[in-house]
A and B are shown apart, each in its own frame.
Chain A
Amino acid sequence: MRPLPAVAALLLLAGTAGAAGPSMDRPLTDRPGDPARGRAVVRDLSKATCLICHAMPIPEEPDHGDLGPPLAGVGARLGSGEIRQRIVDPTTANPATVMPAYFRTEGLDRVGAAFRGRTIYTAQEVEDVVAYLATLTGE
């Protein structure tokens, strides 16, 4: 699936924004996300790993970052749609966030040639990571 243009993403959001923040309830792929694959994706150094900025309940990895909130319990705090929206484009929840949009290609400046027109995650990777993060319901 192609990344959503920002306007379409906002329209999609308009009807679904809940109290906890914007939510993208429709999955990006037909194939359901796989939590085990998602756990592997978030550890993958070549994919701008979540661990750079977030502490996660992945004890075998050293040196978790502390820029973003810890992700233990994120599955209890946010619904899958809200998690998906924050991965696809977190600026919809917080325009000033330092977190990159993992599934957006528009509105970016001077993107390196090797990355131009490409998203950080594929649609399936987004779904796998959403499925994994949704399992993190314990603190």
Chain B
Amino acid sequence: MRAALLLLAGLALVAPPVPAQIDGPRSGADFLTPDTRTLQDDDFLNPGLFAVEEGRALWNRVEGAAGQACASCHAEADMRGVAARHPVFDPATGGLVDLAGRVNAMRREHMGAPELPRESQAMLALTAFLGFQSRGMPMAVEIDGPARPFFEAGREDWFRRRGQLNLSCAQCHDDLAGRRLRGDTISQGQVNGMPFYRLMWRTMASRHRMFEWCETSLRAEPRAAGSAEYLALELYVAWRGRGLPVETPAVRR
């Protein structure tokens, strides 16, 4: 009996089996160990919810020369679906803009408030709060029209080998998702839960920080967060995960 209980306890720590061949997009949540999955699914346990609450407070806080808060102009309910559509082509800059870029543009142009650094706790909180407004909605970025060249650049980047380890994103996240890299199961590299709480870092992390981390792991020179390259890659990756529900704030290893 005791041995059986121990065995059960051991099994609970093993990741659920994921088939090596996977049809269609699968959220990173499907590749989690059961305990991490539980952490994500319970809003009373999920540490990312603290960021969402902090983001809500920032959303309502007056900042900058214009004496405005985000909430002065935007109803919280109107933010539903916004995160699911980003990044988008921005006619004002002629390039792509992601949620963080959008927040900073609003702060600069309408609030007279200083821009927030991308990986600052405040920016991660605000983008987590915005992502949370789309929770459960399908990812649906626009890739046609003026966004098309950026999408194509991002797709090319996905398939390009890089770094001393000479690997493309596709080689692991398309071809080998579900297989084991030492103790970890390779996910599809979907971004539908980001920004998410990363257990390894004990903090929230953005899509671009994960790109940087992955490239650094390949011993490649990473691009900068917010760079045109990462925005293009983000558009491709978001499109690749189209239809997946927004899970922000997800919890990951």
Interface residues of A (CB under 8 A from B): 48, 51-53, 62-67, 98, 100-101, 108-115, 118, 120
Q: Which residues of chain B from 184 to 226 have a CB within 8 Å of any chain A CB? A: 215-216, 219-222
Are A98 and B172 touching (Cβ within 8 A)?
yes
Q: Does B93 contact A (CB under 8 A)?
A: no
Residues of B within 8 A of A53 (CB): 181
Are A112 and B180 touching (Cβ within 8 A)?
no
A90 to chain B minimum Cβ distance, whole angstroms, is: 10
Are B179 and A66 touching (Cβ within 8 A)?
yes
A42 to chain B minimum Cβ distance, whole angstroms, is: 13
Interface residues of B (CB under 8 A from A): 160-167, 171-172, 175-176, 179-183, 215-216, 219-222
Are B221 and A113 touching (Cβ within 8 A)?
yes
Q: Assuming A109-B161, A112-B220, A112-B221, is B166 touching A101 (CB within 8 A)?
A: yes
Q: Complex formed: what's the CA distance from A65 to B163 in Å?
A: 21
A51 to chain B minimum Cβ distance, whole angstroms, is: 6
Q: Complex formed: what's the CA distance from A53 to B167 in Å?
A: 14
Other-chain residue from A65, A101, A113 in contact with B180 (beta carbon distance below 8 A): A65
Q: Assuming A48-B165, A98-B172, A101-B166, is B221 touching A110 (CB within 8 A)?
A: yes
Residues of B within 8 A of A118 (CB): 164
Other-chain residue from B166, B182, B222 in contact with A108 (beta carbon distance below 8 A): B166
